[in-house]
Amino acid sequence: MSKQLARQAAGENGEELILAIDLGTSGPKVGLVDRRGRVIGSEFEPTLLHLLPGGGAEQDPQDWWRAIVSASRRLLGRQLVPLDKIAALGCTGQWSGSVAVGEDGRPLMNAIIWMDTRGVEAVRRLGQGPLQVAGFSLGKLLTWVRLTGGMPTGAGKDPIAHILYIKDAHPDIYRQTYKFLEPIDYLGLQLTGKYVASFDSIILHWLTDNRDAERIVYDDRLLAMSGIERSKLPDLLPPVGVLGGLTSRAAAELGLAEGLPVVVGAPDVHTAAVGAGAVEDYQAHLYIGTSSWLVCHLPMKKTNVFLGLASLPSAIPGRYLVVGEQESAGACLNYLRDQVFFPADELSHEEAPENVYQVFDRIVAGVPAGSQRLIFTPWLYGERAPVEDPYVRGGFFNQTLTTSRSYMLRAVYEGVAYNSRWLLESMEKFTGRRMDPIRMVGGGARSGIWCQICADVLDRTVLQVSDPIQANLAGVAFLAYLALGRMQVGDIPDWVQIEGTYQPSADNRGIYDELFAEYLQLYKSLKPIYARLNRHGRE
Cα separation, 438 vs 415, in Å, equals 18
What is the end-to-end Cα distance of the chain in Å, rounded?
45
- Of the chain, the percentage scoring pLDDT greater than 70 comes to 97
Q: Using the predicted structure, report yes or no on whether residue 346 has a pLDDT greater than 60.
A: yes
Mean pLDDT of 37-61: 96
3-state secondary structure 161-189: HHHHHHHHHCHHHHHHCCEEECHHHHHHH
CA-CA-CA-CA dihedral for 360, 366, 371, 372, to nearest 10? -140
* Region label for 422, one of left (φ > 0), alpha (ψ between -120 and 50) or beta (otherwise): alpha
Q: State yes or no: pLDDT of 8 exceeds 80.
A: no
List, for residues 275-301, the tens digit of each pLDDT value: 999 999 999 999 999 899 999 999 989
Closest C-alpha among 220, 198, 204, 224 to residue 162: 204
Vertex 282 angle, CA 280 and 287, to 5°: 90
Cβ proximity of 284 and 295 under 8 Å: yes
Q: What is the pLDDT of residue 470?
A: 96
Q: How confident is the model at residue 11 (pLDDT cuts 50, 70, 90)?
A: very low
Q: What is the pLDDT of residue 2?
A: 47
Q: pLDDT digits over 367-386, tens only?
A: 999 999 999 999 998 888 88
* Mean pLDDT, the chain, integer: 93
pLDDT above 60: residue 3: no
pLDDT at residue 12 is higher than 80? no
Cis ω for the linkage preceding 437 (within 30 of 0): yes
**453 vs 5 pLDDT, higher one:** 453
Q: Nearest CA to 334 among 384, 290, 378? A: 290
Q: How confident is the model at residue 4 (pLDDT cuts 50, 70, 90)?
A: low
- Least confident stretch, 46-50, 343-347, 480-484: 343-347
Round the CA-based radius of gyration of the chain to a whole number and report it: 22
Contact between 474 and 496 under an 8 Å Cβ cutoff? The reply is: yes
Binned at pLDDT 50, 70 and 90, residue 363 comes out as very high
The 10s digit of each residue's pLDDT in 173-191 is: 999 999 999 999 999 999 9
CA distance 250 to 256: 8
Instruction: Give the CA count within 13 Å in the CB-facing half-sphere of 327.
Output: 25
Nearest to 123 by CA among 135, 139, 141: 135
Instruction: Give the model confidence (pLDDT) of 518-539 as tens digits.
Output: 999 999 999 999 999 998 755 4
List, for residues 89-124, the tens digit of each pLDDT value.
Answer: 999 999 999 999 999 999 999 999 999 999 999 999
pLDDT in tens, 139-149: 898 999 999 99
**Percent with pLDDT over 90 in the chain:** 84
- Model confidence pLDDT, tens digit, residues 476-508: 999 999 999 999 999 999 999 999 999 999 999
Q: Could you tell me the pLDDT band of residue 405, with boundaries at 50, 70 and 90?
A: very high
pLDDT tens profile 67-97 = 999 999 999 999 999 999 999 999 999 999 9
Q: What is the pLDDT of residue 537?
A: 58
DSSP string over 205-225: G--EE-SSTT--EE-HHHHHH
Q: Minimal CA–CA distance to 100: which of 160, 179, 190, 21?
A: 179
Please state, in angstroms and rounded to a whole number, the distance separating the CA atoms of residues 99 and 264.
17
pLDDT score of 45 more than 80: yes
User: In this structure, are residues 207 and 233 in contact, taking their beta carbons and an 8 Å threshold?
Assistant: yes
3-state secondary structure of 44: strand
Q: How many residues does the chain have?
A: 539
Q: Using alpha carbons, list the distances in angstroms from residue 481 to 17, 62, 256, 405, 442.
A: 9, 28, 19, 46, 22
